[in-house]
Amino acid sequence: MGSTFGGINTAYTGLVAQRRALEVTGQNVANANTPGYSRQRVTMQSQGAGVQPAVYSRYEGAGDGVAVTGVERITDGFQVARQQVEHGNYSAADTHAATLKDIEGTFAEPSENGIQESMQDLYNAFAAVGESADPSASGPRATLLQAAQGVTDKLHDASTNLDQQWSTMRTTLDNSVAEINTTTQTIADLNLAIKRNTQAGVPANELADRRDQLVLKLSDSIGAVGRPGEDGVVDVLVGGSPLVSGVSASALSVKGNTNPNQLPPDPPRVTWGMDGTSLSVTTGTVGGLLTGMNKTIPSYKSSLDSVAASLASTVNAIHRTGYDTDPTGDPATGGEGRDFFGPADGTTTTPVTAANITVRITDPAKIAASATPGGNKDGSVMSLIANASDAADGPMASYKSLIGNLGVESQTAQTRLTTRKDVATKADEAVGSTSGVDTDEELTNLLGFQRAYESAAKILSTLDSSIETIINMVRG
């Protein structure tokens, strides 16, 4: 038969357990709007009879109450891992889409101030000279040189803007990696604190929340994922390699060129600080930056250079066949045509690019408009150049192809970004549905714990009254 006073202890354990549950409920409600907070739940275990089974051992009591075995942090490891992966994918897609948007801003097509309009103005100027009643007149020729200068200025600006965009991304990469190193060290420190608390039996739920928020931050920045370890620690992996291993963090660094015109053979990359080996990063903001610097921008810059080279080669090839009105030459024949465009250094060996293309002809009289020497009334060479604007493999067609490809790629990137964002949002919602605080649920729990606490107190009061009755009976 159980002791009369045993019921007092049972009621007391109920008071303690329900009070702890009320405290945890209060913590949940207080952090209902705290980003990254995972709701908590008190785990309780009923306490049975304190006897060992034996032939002559009997226990007729109802049990020894309840014990709080811990405060559980409600999370779903699968959902958290999926959230980290999707955040990395979304950040990479976001950076890639932003890179293409910036490139679109560089070309600003279609626009009255774009390269395409300037090239059309140039071809129109060639046609104006060729169709002029007097192709040797200086007015249309001066207009032609101004139009040519306008095209080269546009090409220079576009090339410079791409270089500046690349340099900005390179600086962003340096800053991102520096921040990643700070974050990884903080995660390692938190892992150490969590490990010590766990081993000492002290709850570390809030520390785990803060740590997991930092892991998610690394997912955004470099596509990191967490892997649970012993004693509550989390290892952080990038490309399958540990960035944080328990209480130790590995530092990263950035290697490679800082000049966009010196990409091969030393492109920007992220390396391990300890030995300088390259780290495979394909997602996260860093993955998007590397893709932009090593593939996207160089690709469009190369295409722009090809347009400039094509413009120079096609115009030069026809212009060399003509004759100018240079008064310093033979007045009867005029000078032979020369290169209309060329590189800025004045050589014939340096490849023409968007950055160095220059108008070689500065004197309107040296424009070789005539196909035949002597008369200088023939503007057929100019007409030939103007007609070349429609060539399927000419600079105009190449530029239109560049803009078309950019538009398609940017649109595709925006569509992919929208999809990635939706997927990441759903992953966030899935995590929130498990770990987030539902105030209605907490209110329901609050009422339940309150009633249980009041009931335990009532039991205690009833037992006290019963014991007092017994004592009064003994007193007689």
Mean pLDDT of 138-159: 96
Q: Are 362 and 339 in contact (CB under 8 A)?
A: no
Q: Please choose, from the candidates 157, 113, 123, 143, the residue with its C-alpha nearest in 3D space to the C-alpha of residue 396.
A: 123
pLDDT tens for 194-208 read: 999 999 988 899 999
List the structure tokens of 417. Answer: 């970004």
Tell me what pLDDT residue 346 has: 86
CA atoms in the 13 A half-sphere facing the CB of 379: 22
Q: What are phi and psi of 72, to 5 degrees?
A: -85, 135
Residue 332: is its pLDDT beyond 60?
Answer: no
Tell me what pLDDT residue 135 has: 85
Beta strand extents in 34-143 (DSSP E only): 40-46, 66-73
What band does 2 get if pLDDT is binned at 50, 70 and 90? low
Packing angle, helices 205-222 and 138-200, rounded to 10: 160
List the structure tokens of 273. Answer: 């600080």
pLDDT tens for 206-246 read: 999 999 999 999 999 999 999 999 999 999 999 889 999 99
The length of the chain, given as a count of residues: 476
Count Cβ atoms below 10 Å from residue 42 Cβ, excluding itself.
20
Residue 54: is its pLDDT beyond 70?
Answer: no
Mean pLDDT of 53-64: 66
Contacts 24+ apart (CB under 8 A), 339-346: 339/312, 340/148, 340/312, 340/315, 340/316, 340/367, 341/148, 341/152, 341/311, 341/312, 341/315, 341/316, 342/312, 342/316
List the structure tokens of 94. Answer: 């976001």
Residue 328: is its pLDDT beyond 90?
Answer: no
- The DSSP call for residue 69 is E
What band does 472 get if pLDDT is binned at 50, 70 and 90? confident
Query: Dihedral sign, CA of 457, 461, 463, 467?
Result: positive
Question: DSSP secondary structure string, 403-460?
Answer: HHHHHHHHHHHHHHHHHHHHHHHHHHHHHHHHHS--HHHHHHHHHHHHHHHHHHHHHH
Provide the b/e sequence for 354-385 (b: ≥16 CB within 10 Å): bbbbbbbbeebbbbbbbbebeebebbebbbbb
Tell me what pLDDT residue 335 has: 77
Count Cβ atoms below 10 Å from residue 316 Cβ, excluding itself.
18
Residue 253: is its pLDDT beyond 80?
Answer: yes
Residue 475: is its pLDDT beyond 80?
Answer: no
Tell me what pLDDT residue 367 has: 92
Residue 369: is its pLDDT beyond 60?
Answer: yes
Decide the pairing of beta strands 241-245 and 234-238: antiparallel
Contacts 24+ apart (CB under 8 A), 271-276: 272/241, 273/181, 274/250
Percent of the chain with pLDDT over 70: 93
Q: Are 373 and 293 in contact (CB under 8 A)?
A: no
- The DSSP call for residue 6 is H
List alpha helices for 225-341, DSSP H. Answer: 284-291, 297-319
Tell me what pLDDT residue 265 has: 77
Mean pLDDT of 379-383: 93
CA atoms in the 13 A half-sphere facing the CB of 245: 5
What band does 466 get if pLDDT is binned at 50, 70 and 90? confident
pLDDT tens for 336-363 read: 888 999 999 988 889 999 999 999 999 9
Tell me the average pLDDT of the chain.
Answer: 91
Cα 267 from Cα 292, distance rounded (Å): 12
Cα 360 from Cα 334, distance rounded (Å): 18
Q: Are 141 and 364 in contact (CB under 8 A)?
A: yes
Count Cβ atoms below 10 Å from residue 57 Cβ, excluding itself.
9
